[in-house]
Amino acid sequence: MVSDEFSGMISTIRDQTSWNKTGFQFKMQRNGYCSKIPFAFLIVFSVLLMLLIVHQRSKTFEVNGGDAKINVLAGGGAAQTETPEVADSGNVSSQQVLDELFAPGHDKGSCLSRYESVVYRKPSSHKPSPCLLSKLRKYESLHKLCGPYTESYNKTLEQLKSGRNVSTTDCNYVVYTPLSGLGNRMLTIASAFLYALLTNRVLLVEFGSEIAGLFCEPFQQTTWLLPMDFPLRNQFDNFSQELSKLFPDEETVFHHLGRYLFQPSNEAWGLITRFYRAYLSKADERIGIQVRVFDTKVTPFQTVVDQILSCTIKEKLLPDVLETRSSATSLSKNQSLKAVLVTSLYSKYYEHLKGVYWTKPTVSGEVIGVYQPSHEEHELYGNNMHSMKAWTEIYLLSMSNALITSSCSTFGYVAQSLGGLKPWILYRPLNGTAPDPPCVRAMSMEPCFHFPPSHGCKAEVNVGHVKHCEDVEWGLKLVKDH
C-alpha cells in the first residue's frame, strides 16, 4: 500500500485494504482455502518485501486519506488497572528479570507482565542485535520528543490544521488505524512499527474500544495512542536497507518487535497467570494446540480430532493410549505430567482430547491433563472481553514448550512468534478427509503474510530468506537464510 503522493509528512496505514481484491477473491475461490481470513498483512509485506526483495519501490501501499475514524483511549491505556497481584519476584532485582529489549526505568506496577514474564515463559533464545537495541532506544527518545502534546506535536498539528505544507521538522508520524481480528492487528501494528523505525517516524495507533486495555504502554513517559484531534495526510517514503542490520537473524522480526510492543496489561496478566498457575505450572511439559476450523460445516469433527492425534503422536509430542481401560498404571512407570492447552472457539475438541487421555492409560505411563480457558462459540469482532480472552489464550500458547497450530490462522502466528516457537502446522482437511501427513513443522517462527504485494511467479520470490508458507501456498514468510 504505497501512495504516490509525497506531499505530506504523515503516513496513514490501515490493514483493511481493497488492494487487488479481485485477485484475492479469485484465489480464494480457486483454492477454496482459508475462506474467512480477514484482510491483512499488506503492510507487513510491503515493508518486509521492499527491504528484502529486489522490487523496492513497488507501488503497493494503499494509503488511506483523512477518512479514518478516530477514537482515542484514555491515556496510558491499561496502565491503571488492578493492583499488583503476583508477588514480587523475591530477591531477583527488577532489572535482572527485564528482557534486554526494554529500556530500564519502566514503572513496574503499571505493567507487571514486563517484569514477570520471564518467570513464566522461557526467555528468548534469540538475542536482539545491538543495532536493534540502539534503534529502539533512539526510537524511544524520538517518541518522547514528538509524542502527543509535545511542543513539536502541537506545532505539526497546527500546521496540518491550517492546511499549510508542513515544514520539515524532526517529527514525522505513522498513524495506524487497525481493523479486523486481534491476531491481524498485532501483526500489522508490529509491521507499522517496523516501518516507523526504518523511517524515523513516530507510531501513533488507534485501537478502538475492543482492544482497549489489552496491552501495556510500550513507551515511557509518553503514549502511542492516537489523540482524537489528529488530522491525517498521505505520504510514502522510500527507505533504506537497514533491516538486515536490525535483524541479522531474518526470522526474528516479529519475535522481537512483538515482544517489545505487546506486554499484557495488568488485567490480562491476571487472567494469564491465574490460569497458568492453576493448570499449567506443575506440568513437566506444556503442549499448546490451537484449533481453528474455518468451515465447520464441511469438516467433520472426527476428522479434526483424528488429525490432531495423528500429528501429536507421530511427532512424539503426546503419547499414544493403550486400547485397554483396565490397567491402573503402576506408579513407578512414569511420573511425568504433560499439560495440553487447547484453544478453540468450540469446546468439543478439548472435550474429546480430555476424554481420550482420561479414559485410557498412555503407553508411556505419563499422565496428560487437557485444559481450555474459554470457548466463545463465535468470533466476535468489536467485543473487548472477547479480545481480552483471545489475548490471554495467545499468550498462554506462547508459553508452551511445543505448539501445534491450524493453517491460515493469525492467532497461531502471533503465539508462535511471541513464544519463539516453530510450530507443527495442521494441514487443512481437504474435502473433509484428514490430510496425510497430518501436519508439517514450520520453517520459521515468523508469521505467514497471506497477501503478498506481488503475484510474481514462485521462482521470483522463493529465494533467500523469503519463502512461500507451509499453510498458504501463495503467502510468504521470512525464514533464516541458510
**DSSP bridge pairs for 14:** 177
Residues in 156-215 that interact with ligand NAG by CB under 6 A: 165
CA distances from 282 to 22, 120, 176 (A): 51, 12, 41
Q: What is the smallest separation between the CB atom of 409 and ligand NAG, expressed in angstroms?
A: 23
Should residue 4 be labelled a site residue for ligand NAG when binding is judged by CB under 6 A? no
Should residue 150 be labelled a site residue for ligand NAG when binding is judged by CB under 6 A? yes
First to last CA, the chain: 30
Should residue 31 be labelled a site residue for ligand NAG when binding is judged by CB under 6 A? no
Q: 431 — alpha (psi -120 to 50), left (phi > 0) or beta? A: left
Q: What is the smallest separation between the CB atom of 336 and ligand NAG, expressed in angstroms?
A: 4
**DSSP bridge pairs for 288:** 341, 403
Applying CB under 6 A, among 35, 74, 80, 149 the residue interacting with ligand NAG is 149
Could you give the 3-state DSSP secondary structure of residue 350?
helix
Kindly calculate the radius of gyration of the chain based on its CA atoms and give it in whole angstroms: 23
Query: What is the DSSP-derived secondary structure letter of residue 106?
Result: -
Should residue 58 be labelled a site residue for ligand NAG when binding is judged by CB under 6 A? no
Nearer to ligand NAG, 205 or 283 (CB): 283
Applying CB under 6 A, among 4, 100, 151, 473 the residue interacting with ligand NAG is 151
Interface region with ligand NAG, contact rule CB under 6 A, candidates 34-42, 146-154, 269-277, 459-467: 146-154
Applying CB under 6 A, among 58, 71, 336, 454 the residue interacting with ligand NAG is 336
Q: What is the smallest separation between the CB atom of 89 and ligand NAG, expressed in angstroms?
A: 6
Should residue 154 be labelled a site residue for ligand NAG when binding is judged by CB under 6 A? yes
Applying CB under 6 A, among 18, 96, 209, 238 the residue interacting with ligand NAG is 238
The contact mask relative to ligand NAG for 80-109 (x = CB under 6 A, - = no) is: ---------xxxx-----------------
Q: What angle do CA 76, 179, 235 make, to 5 degrees?
A: 85
Applying CB under 6 A, among 94, 334, 383, 384 the residue interacting with ligand NAG is 334
By CB under 6 A, the count of residues binding ligand NAG is 19
CB-based contacts of 476: which residues, under 8 Å, 6+ apart?
45, 49, 448, 449, 452, 461, 466, 467, 468, 469
Residue 122 has φ and ψ, to the nearest 5°, of -60, 140
Q: H/E element holding 356?
A: helix 348-359
Interface region with ligand NAG, contact rule CB under 6 A, candidates 125-133, 134-142, 145-153, 435-443: 145-153
Q: Beta strand pairing status for 173-177 and 202-205?
A: parallel
Binding residues (CB under 6 A) for ligand NAG: these are: 7, 56-57, 89-92, 149-151, 154, 165, 238, 240, 334, 336, 364, 366, 431
